[in-house]
Amino acid sequence: MATFDIDGDLIRKIADLLRETGLNEIEFAEGDKRLRITRSAPAAAHVVHAAVPAAAPVPTGSASVAAAPTTGAAHPGAVTSPMVGTAYASPEPGAAPFVKVGDTVKAGQTILIIEAMKVMNPIKAPRGGTVSEILVADAQPVEFGEVLMVIE
Amino acid sequence: MFEKVLIANRGEIALRIHRACREMGIQTVAVHSTADADAMHVRLADESVCIGPASARESYLNIPAILSAATITGADAIHPGIGFMSENAQFAEMVEEHGFTFIGPTADHIRIMGDKVTAKKTVSDLGLPVVPGSDGPVPTLEEAEKIARDIGYPVLIKAAAGGGGKGMKVARNPEQLREAYQLARGEARAAFGNDEVYIEKYLGRPRHIEIQLLADLHGNVVHFGERDCSVQRRHQKVIEEAPSPALNAAQRDFIGELAARTTRGFGYRGVGTMEFLFEDGQFYFIEMNTRLQVEHTISEMITGIDLVREQIRVATGAPLGYTQADIRFHGHAIECRVNAENPETFAPSPGKIGGYHAPGGLGVRVDSALYDGYRVPPHYDSLISKLVVHGTTRNECLMRLRRAIEEYVIGGIDTTLPLHQRIIAQPDFINGAYDIHWLEQLMGMKK
């Protein structure tokens, strides 16, 4: 292989040129010698084609009532769903709901029912406190981990 | 045709099923654990439902959660994928009881083929040759000793409730039999909840040849040729190819026809694969998998037929619409199973993918749910990608595979890509001269 004399001055000159002009890369060839100088730029943003939308989570029943959920599961008072099913706010259709916003609840008190495979599962308050937010509407499908209520 | 299918699985196979559904205009529901909330198929599916925490038992194996998710999304059918509950007869039954179509065979067929003893008996009664061994379960050590004497050592003691290469112990001579027998029963009880075992002759240099089958609900059965899955480590397939370099056309037609005829004989429906050991020109049935298989891809490449689409189509009751004569085989295909493991120690390597570039070009297919920045979770099996290559000849396929592996970049974690590079460079592999012990011998794991 032919030896390749590295011309330090030339490289320095080119590096300056790159900096001045804001270019990232220069390559030139002479005969069978080729020189490429690249200025490492901060990681370029990936070109993402067909941005992958997040799949719609199970459609919230009355989206207008629940509003865009601003309360995440990380909220200390969040009560999250332990199962997949349909949440019911009242013990039976037409009856008063278990709890309303503003109610005081005791630990172990039933706050909702989640129905799965025809079995009604009472959901109990994990701690005592005041119901500050109810994020599911009556007969709304819920998934595991979904925030149902906030008790503070 | 189904309007909405719930995909009861994860990873690359869930993405595979989503793709087939999408191409048929079927809406998809992706059920997932909390650990898979950012999975590719979850992002692409029409709807998603989180069904539980990371542990498989509380999510992908959670029958009430899955059925509940199907109810609240109004799905018509459930596709069980591979592994998890795809061969769980109780699940299949409950799905149908709740008014959904189970995309797979009947619970009875799952049961019959799931018990390896009844599976052998069923196909043997229909004339299929099986590996010589005990005709049924072997309940005592004394019987084990007698059977081993009759069929000759070495012998393999296998769990009746096992399968997929799990729960097997070798005894090379009478001195080893006691321990092998007791260990096998203990492991079977622990792994499958059932300590029933049976015994087979341990073949010296067999190849693993399997036949892909498809049956509709009207008694029509076709086969899609064979796959050679002899490159295995610890009974797990590493590389598969179709057709097998070891079979000639006559042998291929023979075993394909025999497998199809047997399947027709017990009224099967859906996709299924019959697995055989092939030695000295003889085929011996070992088991049947009543589900889609990981390596279905190579059969698709050589026939041009989408097997997941066919699986869904026949589940709706549609007739096949074609016969064996309509299935043509073109060229050669090879699949490399890429795992998130160290290529030498096989230590699991979950974690964040940094820098992902899949190979492309004519005849190159990558079935993977990976993407740049994706985090491979530690809770599930380590298969993260299938590199599938097709060529008009086996040689062209090998050249293409070598080129494609060179291009494939999966950064941030260890993968078995270097192992695959090593395997396909071996003269034995290039010549197609390998059996089911070959890879372990190459790696120094056995003599």
Count CB atoms within 10 A of the CB of residue A145.
Answer: 19
Closest Cβ opposite residue A116 in set B30, B53, B68: B68
The residue among B72, B93, B95 with the most chain A CBs within 10 A of its CB, best to mutate, is B72
State how beta strands A33-38 and A25-30 pair.
Answer: antiparallel
Instruction: Single out the catalytic residue among B227, B291, B313, B337.
Output: B291
Cα Rg of chain A (Å, integer) = 31
pLDDT in tens, chain B (447 residues): 999 999 999 999 999 999 999 999 999 999 999 999 999 999 999 999 999 999 999 999 999 999 999 999 999 999 999 999 999 999 999 999 999 999 999 999 999 999 999 999 999 999 999 999 998 899 999 999 999 999 999 999 999 988 767 778 999 999 999 999 999 999 899 888 899 999 999 998 999 999 999 999 999 999 999 999 999 998 899 999 999 999 999 999 999 999 999 999 989 999 999 999 999 999 999 999 999 999 999 999 999 999 999 999 999 999 999 999 999 999 999 999 999 999 999 999 999 999 999 999 999 999 999 999 999 999 999 999 999 999 999 999 999 999 999 999 999 999 999 999 999 999 999 999 999 999 999 999 764
Whether chain A has a CB inside 8 Å of the CB on B215: the answer is no
Whether chain A has a CB inside 8 Å of the CB on B30: the answer is yes
Q: Is 0.90 exceeded by the ipTM?
A: no
Residue B43, CA distances (Å) to A56, B46, B90, B298, B382 in order = 9, 8, 30, 27, 21
Contacts of A57 in chain B (CB under 8 A): 47-50
Residue B394, CA distances (Å) to B242, B281, B332, B399 in order = 9, 21, 5, 9
CATH of A76-151, one of 2.40.50.100, 3.40.50.11610, 3.30.56.10, 3.30.1360.170: 2.40.50.100
Closest Cβ opposite residue A56 in set B47, B51, B72: B47
Angle value at C-alpha A81, between A84 and B68, nearest 5 degrees: 5
Across the interface, do B72 and A83 touch by the CB < 8 Å criterion? Answer: no
- Cβ–Cβ under 8 Å, residues B349 and B415: yes
Enumerate the domain spans of chain A. Answer: 8-38, 76-151
CATH 3.30.1490.20 fits B132-201, yes or no: yes
CA distance B14 to chain A (A): 14
Chain-centroid distance of CA B428 in Å reads 24
Residue B99, burial from CB neighbour count under 10 angstroms (0-12, 13-18, 19+): exposed
pLDDT band at A30; cut points 50, 70, 90: confident
Topology given in CATH for the domain delimited by B4-86 = Rossmann fold (3.40.50)
Contacts of A58 in chain B (CB under 8 A): 47-49, 69, 72-73
Helix (H, G, I), strand (E, B) or coil at B2: coil
By C-alpha distance, the chain A residue nearest B355 is: A46
- Cβ–Cβ under 8 Å, residues B341 and B351: no
Contacts of A59 in chain B (CB under 8 A): 47
Closest Cβ opposite residue B68 in set A46, A84, A146: A84
Which tokens go with B92? 């299949």
Residues 384-423 of B with CB under 8 A from A: none
Across the interface, do B44 and A141 touch by the CB < 8 Å criterion? Answer: no
CATH 3.40.50.970 fits B207-442, yes or no: no
Taking CB atoms and an 8 Å cut-off, how many pairs form between chains A and B?
73
Cα Rg of chain B (Å, integer) = 21
Enumerate the domain spans of chain B. Answer: 4-86, 132-201, 207-442
Contacts of A55 in chain B (CB under 8 A): 30, 42-48
Reported as a single tens digit per residue, the pLDDT across A84-137 is 999 999 999 889 999 999 999 999 999 999 999 888 999 999 999 999 999 999
Chain-centroid distance of CA B5 in Å reads 22
> What is the greatest pairwise CA distance in chain A?
91
Helix (H, G, I), strand (E, B) or coil at B445: coil
> Does the structure show a pLDDT above 60 at A55?
no
CA distance A58 to chain B (A): 6
- Cβ–Cβ under 8 Å, residues B237 and B210: no
Which pLDDT does position B446 carry in this prediction?
Answer: 61
CA distance B244 to B401: 16
Helix (H) or strand (E) holding B108: helix B107-114
Active-site residue B291, yes or no? yes
Which pLDDT does position B218 carry in this prediction?
Answer: 96
- Cβ–Cβ under 8 Å, residues B308 and B41: no
Whether chain B has a CB inside 8 Å of the CB on A117: the answer is yes
What is the residue whose two structure tokens read 């009759």? B150
What is the residue whose two structure tokens read 């008790």? A151
Whether chain B has a CB inside 8 Å of the CB on A6: the answer is no
Helix (H, G, I), strand (E, B) or coil at B242: strand
Residue A134, CA distances (Å) to A100, A109, B388 in order = 8, 15, 50
pLDDT band at A75; cut points 50, 70, 90: confident
Across the interface, do B40 and A52 touch by the CB < 8 Å criterion? Answer: yes
The residue among A143, A146, A147 with the most chain B CBs within 10 A of its CB, best to mutate, is A143
What is the residue whose two structure tokens read 């699949």? B335
Closest CA to B288 of B110, B88, B131, B129: B110
- Phi and psi at residue B366, in whole multiples of 5°? -120, 115
Closest CA to B374 of B21, B33, B35, B147: B35
What is the residue whose two structure tokens read 């189509």? B313
> Does the structure show a pLDDT above 50 at A34?
yes
Closest Cβ opposite residue B42 in set A55, A84, A146: A55
Crossing angle between the packed helical segments B394-407 and B417-424, to the nearest 10 degrees? 150
Closest Cβ opposite residue A143 in set B44, B45, B50: B50
- Cβ–Cβ under 8 Å, residues B227 and B295: yes
- Tell me the HSE value of B328 on the side-chain side, using a 13 A CA sphere: 3
Across the interface, do B372 and A54 touch by the CB < 8 Å criterion? Answer: no
